[in-house]
A and B are shown apart, each in its own frame.
Chain A
């Protein structure tokens, strides 16, 4: 199995690589188009600010490449948000794989949401063996609204989509690589898809 973690110059991707190592799988960090196209599974990571991340994605020429992938792709945190049509962060256009807008939490709650929260209404093989209301680690200021592609929701200010899926594209707002054993199970499930 060839697992590629998209390396386009953002954030802490080492943690994701380490998490797969713990599962006995070595992941390749790459921004090489051929390497990505020939991968069996792809992780689309992201932390930081949306517009600069999109710019980096553009500068390494990955925008169209990602959209056309047919193998399972897992967007994590900002990676998930960038797969959406648009985000309020830096008023940025995303990849448009999911036809939803990413919005900012209001100041009625602390922003960023930081810590462990539950995921519920689980509807995907990604969550095999994960019980309803399992805790996941999240750090984010922007969220994806609940929509027809939701495969998990989480309550912070209101219920929002903490995981989404369309065809081969999966997105999770939480960090499975930092969510203890349950998070590792989700990564294993992704490998098993």
Chain B
């Protein structure tokens, strides 16, 4: 059976991890390569690196980081943040990224999804969607969730699937950072609507939240940052508990 995936997400700026990370005794917790290796060791199924660099100069160091991660880490990883052209993706894949995640650039120019899936294959195209509920509707936002769009979550998800996305990373802005659990109702609806894998993001606080998102939310994977980085949830313990709940995981 295909297992449910647990995905730690690392924010990267200028080639370094930002936000404190203290789940292990690393000499340099800002080194994304050391962190990634550690996560691979303790059973993370995949990793996501999100580039939050503001300048072009900082962004260039991302490629160097990707190359180092690919050289040393033996599990798959996705790179997202600031990707807007076929050339951007080509460079990242050439450095050894397995998948790329696009967000605002897909909203601004949806054809990008078609171009990427045709050139590189759907398997490496993740479309990230940030959305929050506005008057009872899931409204898609861009630019890191700061700008509302006219798009509605479920329509947009259908559209990116049709255009060739291989996976959807859905972040509920209503849940992100709250630690009250994932947006399971919306996630279950997404899974019923599209036939590509869905990664749940936003709201992880406890082990129970992961159990719920796999059972109630029918998510294929769950992504979280701080609960893993600060050691609040240990991935091995999490996976044991998931297995106790008859959820298939790689242990």
Residues of A in contact with B (beta carbons under 8 Å apart): 11-12, 14-15, 18-19, 21-22, 47-49, 107, 110-118, 135, 137, 139-141, 155-156, 175, 177-181, 183-184
Q: Quick one: given A22-B74, A115-B2, A115-B197, are A47 and B45 in contact (CB under 8 Å)?
A: no
Q: How many A-B residue pairs have CB under 8 A?
A: 95
Give the residues in chain B near A18, CB-CB below 8 Å: 70-72, 96
Give the residues in chain A near B98, CB-CB below 8 Å: 12, 15, 178
Q: Quick one: given A114-B220, A115-B3, A183-B74, are A14 and B94 in contact (CB under 8 Å)?
A: yes
Roughly how many angstroms separate A141 CA and B87 CA in the complex, as a whole number?
Answer: 25
Query: Are the C-beta atoms of B220 and A115 separated by less than 8 Å?
Result: yes
Sample of 23 A–B contacts (CB below 8 Å): A12-B93, A12-B124, A18-B70, A18-B96, A47-B123, A47-B124, A48-B121, A110-B196, A110-B197, A112-B122, A112-B123, A112-B196, A114-B123, A115-B3, A115-B220, A115-B221, A116-B3, A117-B2, A135-B250, A137-B76, A140-B123, A155-B1, A175-B76
Query: What 5 pairs across the A-B complex have the smallest Cβ distances?
Result: A48-B121, A135-B250, A14-B96, A139-B123, A116-B250
| Residue B166 CB within 8 A of the other chain | yes
Roughly how many angstroms separate A6 CA and B141 CA in the complex, as a whole number?
Answer: 43
Shortest A30–chain B CB gap in Å is: 17
Closest chain A residue to B191 by CB distance? A110
Q: Which residues of B in the span 87-138 have a Cβ within 8 Å of any Cβ on A?
A: 93-98, 118, 120-124
Q: Quick one: given A12-B96, A117-B2, A118-B1, are A178 and B75 in contact (CB under 8 Å)?
A: yes
Closest chain B residue to A117 by CB distance? B2
Instruction: Taking A47-B121, A178-B75, A179-B74 as given, write out 11 further A-B residue pairs in contact, using a Cβ cutoff of 8 Å, ordered by the A residue number.
Output: A12-B96, A21-B71, A47-B120, A107-B195, A112-B123, A115-B5, A116-B2, A117-B2, A139-B76, A178-B76, A181-B74
Give the residues in chain B near A140, CB-CB below 8 Å: 123
Query: Are the C-beta atoms of A110 and B195 separated by less than 8 Å?
Result: yes
Give the residues in chain B near A111, CB-CB below 8 Å: 195-196
Query: Are the C-beta atoms of B93 and A114 separated by less than 8 Å?
Result: no
Closest chain A residue to B92 by CB distance? A12
Query: Are the C-beta atoms of A115 and B45 separated by less than 8 Å?
Result: yes
Closest chain A residue to B126 by CB distance? A114
| Residue B51 CB within 8 A of the other chain | no
Give the residues in chain A near B3, CB-CB below 8 Å: 115-117, 135
| Residue B233 CB within 8 A of the other chain | no
Give the residues in chain A near B220, CB-CB below 8 Å: 110, 114-115
Closest chain B residue to A77 by CB distance? B123
Q: Quick one: given A12-B93, A47-B121, are A116 and B5 in contact (CB under 8 Å)?
A: yes
Of the candidates B70, B121, B221, B250, which one forms a contact with A14 in the assembled complex, judged by CB atoms under 8 Å apart? B70
